């Protein structure tokens, strides 16, 4: 974790708003970074100072009486407004009809947007957890003919595995993981010194184009193809991650077949 990423998370860590993986990453960073540790100490002192009882005073009784005084009753409705009621009701009915017609599309859009953000958030959290010692790979191999058969019997689907070493993305291995309460396949690739986690699982939805989410210094690109959903996560540059996705999608690069 870089200092820029840690500074964005210090306040959330102080307020216990981070998940376990992010909290561990922040703590480890502060252990090796005196600057961020000092900033966190300053934030802690400020929070404690703002919570001191000596900073607060009881409001004067006269002011408290004004706050609790009964508010005057609203004026009676005039007859002229009663005559406008049919027009108001008609406008309200028209507005309600418009909302009802637009609601299915709005709900679908919001639901899909929420799913996209949820998968990105869970995949990035999983990627961070995988960086911990002994969590990255279950099967260590640069050979797709070793990695793909390893998943047999461990998942209810056969993951798509490609050898992209000639394109600058060598395969490192694979592991079992879980996103959204279901088992998924995680393939691990490298880009120089950076790790790329590629998650995949079967879906019933139609194909979608790649969409990118940026969060805490990490990028997540997800798409659906051939009834499989994919999420690629890394802290490489977004251009490099996009290139990885393009190479993985390229049909001229033949995946391992059974």
Q: What is the 3-state secondary structure (H, E, C) of 191-241?
A: ECCEEEEEEEEECCCCCEEEEEEEECCEEEEEEEECCEEEEEEECCCHHHH
**Total domain count for the chain?**
2
Task: Count CB atoms within 10 A of the CB of residue 82.
Answer: 9
Question: What phi and psi values does residue 178 have, to the nearest 5 degrees?
Answer: -140, 130
So what's the pLDDT on residue 244?
A: 96
Task: Count CB atoms within 10 A of the CB of residue 43.
Answer: 15
So what's the pLDDT on residue 133?
A: 67
pTM over 0.75: no
Residues in the chain, overall count: 258
Q: Give domain status of residue 176, yes or no.
A: yes
End-of-domain residue from the set 34, 49, 64: 49
Q: Give domain status of residue 18, yes or no.
A: yes
The answer on 142 and 42 residing in a single domain is: no
Q: Give domain status of residue 27, yes or no.
A: yes
Q: Give domain status of residue 191, yes or no.
A: yes
So what's the pLDDT on residue 168?
A: 94
So what's the pLDDT on residue 5?
A: 75
Q: Give domain status of residue 127, yes or no.
A: no
End-of-domain residue from the set 13, 31, 49: 49
Query: Which mean pLDDT values do the consecutive 10-residue runs of the chain (258 residues) have?
Result: 75 74 80 86 76 68 70 58 50 49 36 61 85 75 86 92 94 90 92 93 92 90 94 94 95 56
- Quote the CA–CA distance of 126 and 181 in Å, as a whole number: 13
Q: Give domain status of residue 216, yes or no.
A: yes
Q: 28: domain range?
A: 3-49
Tokens of 168: 């600058």
CATH of the domain at 231: 3.30.200.100
So what's the pLDDT on residue 209?
A: 93
């Amino acid at each position: 974790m870089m200092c820029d990423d840690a500074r964005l998370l210090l306040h959330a860590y102080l307020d216990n708003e981070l998940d376990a993986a992010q909290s561990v990453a922040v703590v480890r960073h502060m252990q090796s970074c005196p600057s961020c540790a000092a900033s966190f100490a300053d934030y802690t002192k400020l929070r404690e100072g703002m919570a001191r009882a000596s900073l607060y005073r009881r409001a004067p009784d006269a002011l408290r009486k004004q706050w609790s005084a009964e508010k005057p009753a609203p004026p009676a409705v005039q007859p002229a407004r009663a005559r406008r009621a049919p027009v108001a009701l008609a406008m309200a009915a028209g507005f309600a009809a418009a909302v009802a017609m637009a609601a299915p599309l709005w709900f679908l859009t919001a639901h899909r947007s929420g799913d996209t953000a949820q998968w990105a958030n869970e995949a990035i959290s999983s990627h961070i957890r995988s960086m911990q010692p002994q969590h990255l790979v279950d099967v260590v191999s640069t050979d797709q003919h070793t990695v793909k058969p390893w998943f047999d019997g461990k998942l209810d689907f056969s993951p798509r595995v490609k050898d992209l070493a000639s394109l600058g993305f060598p395969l490192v291995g694979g592991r079992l993981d879980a996103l959204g309460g279901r088992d998924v396949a995680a393939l691990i690739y490298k880009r120089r010194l950076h790790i790329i986690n590629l998650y995949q699982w079967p879906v019933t939805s139609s194909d979608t184009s790649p969409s990118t989410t940026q969060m805490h210094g990490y990028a997540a690109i997800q798409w659906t193809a051939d009834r499989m959903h994919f999420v690629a996560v890394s802290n490489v540059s977004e251009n490099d991650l996009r290139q990885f996705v393009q190479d993985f999608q390229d049909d001229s690069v033949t995946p391992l077949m059974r």
